[in-house]
A = this chain, B = another copy of it.
Amino acid sequence: MRIDHLSKQQPAHPGIIHVEPLFLPENVIKALTIDNLIFGLDNDELKVLLVKRHEPGHDNLWALPGGWIRYDENLRDAAARLLEEWTGVKNLYLEQLKAFGRIDRFPNERVVTIAYYALVSAENYQDVIALSAGDVHWASVNNLPELIYDHAEILSYGIKFLRHQVCHQPIGFNLLPEKFTLLQLQALYEAILNTTLDKPNFRRKIMKMDLLTPCNEKQQGVPHRAANLYRFDPEVYKQLSESGFSFEI
């Protein structure tokens, strides 16, 4: 709905800051778009948010949620704005993935896209579908539908990248609720990496890093012994990484 006007309604002489009257928002760099890879965790399964696209040429294919970069907005701000427009949620974890610009990636027109990836916490996971304007779907990364343009390539790159990042940067926490148990964290890694981990060893490894602060609270309403809740401490991580510590799973 947001990204697909150019090739049909516009002849091939759009200007960089020229204001288009009809279908395009004002002040966009028309050759440049954002595509967001929005990841979430659902029952220990890694999901990505896809949107349905109704285009004449491509019948109802799925796509990454994206849109145009405005002429007067920073790249990251554009990605954050579009992220909020599509999910209804603010302030998610968001980082640039890569620019994709194959000549023929977009029909009729040269369009370069800058892909960002975002992580949705468990608290917001359900809201994302509820708040967004229909035709939006959490797809399992292990069972993806056919995607439009080069979005399969972008997503595949992004999943590989996420698998790498999650092992080398403490970003996985962004997929969990603010307060989480060690087993939830372990399940997260097992889900993203498609593997199984040894519980005692995983606990020790994480705890030795001193990145988690205990909430002095326990799980509520579980049908078994309640686990301690922890919270990730970005301040401690910042200090540690300045003194040479590097996160590794």
Q: Which single residue of chain B is at the shortest CB-CB distance from A16?
A: B31
The reply to whether B13 and A112 contact each other, CB–CB distance below 8 Å, is: no
The reply to whether B14 and A15 contact each other, CB–CB distance below 8 Å, is: yes
Tally of A interface residues using CB under 8 Å: 29
**A72: chain B residues within 8 A (beta carbon):** 103, 110
The reply to whether B13 and A16 contact each other, CB–CB distance below 8 Å, is: yes
The reply to whether B99 and A74 contact each other, CB–CB distance below 8 Å, is: no
Q: Which of A1-17 contact B (CB under 8 A)?
A: 12-17
Q: Which single residue of chain B is at the shortest CB-CB distance from A164?
A: B168
Q: Which single residue of chain B is at the shortest CB-CB distance from A96?
A: B98
A13 to B17, CA, bound (A): 7
**A149: chain B residues within 8 A (beta carbon):** none
Q: Which single residue of chain B is at the shortest CB-CB distance from A167?
A: B246
**A85: chain B residues within 8 A (beta carbon):** none
**A109: chain B residues within 8 A (beta carbon):** 16
Asked if A64 CB lies within 8 Å of chain B CBs, one says no
Contact with B along A98-109 (1 / 0, CB 8 A): 111111000001
Tell me the smallest distance from the CB of A158 to a CB of chain B, in Å.
14
Q: Which single residue of chain B is at the shortest CB-CB distance from A168?
A: B168
Asked if A30 CB lies within 8 Å of chain B CBs, one says yes
Asked if A24 CB lies within 8 Å of chain B CBs, one says no
Contact with B along A161-180 (1 / 0, CB 8 A): 00000001000000000000
Q: A32-B112, A96-B99, A101-B75 are in contact. Are A13 and B12 (CB under 8 A)?
A: no
The reply to whether A14 and B13 contact each other, CB–CB distance below 8 Å, is: no
| A interface residues, Cβ below 8 angstroms from B | 12-18, 29-32, 69, 71-75, 96, 98-103, 109-110, 112, 114, 168
Additional 8 contacts, C-beta under 8 A, given A14-B15, A75-B100? A12-B17, A13-B18, A17-B110, A31-B32, A69-B112, A74-B101, A74-B102, A96-B98
* A-B complex: 4 closest residue pairs judged by Cβ atoms: A75-B101, A13-B15, A99-B99, A99-B114
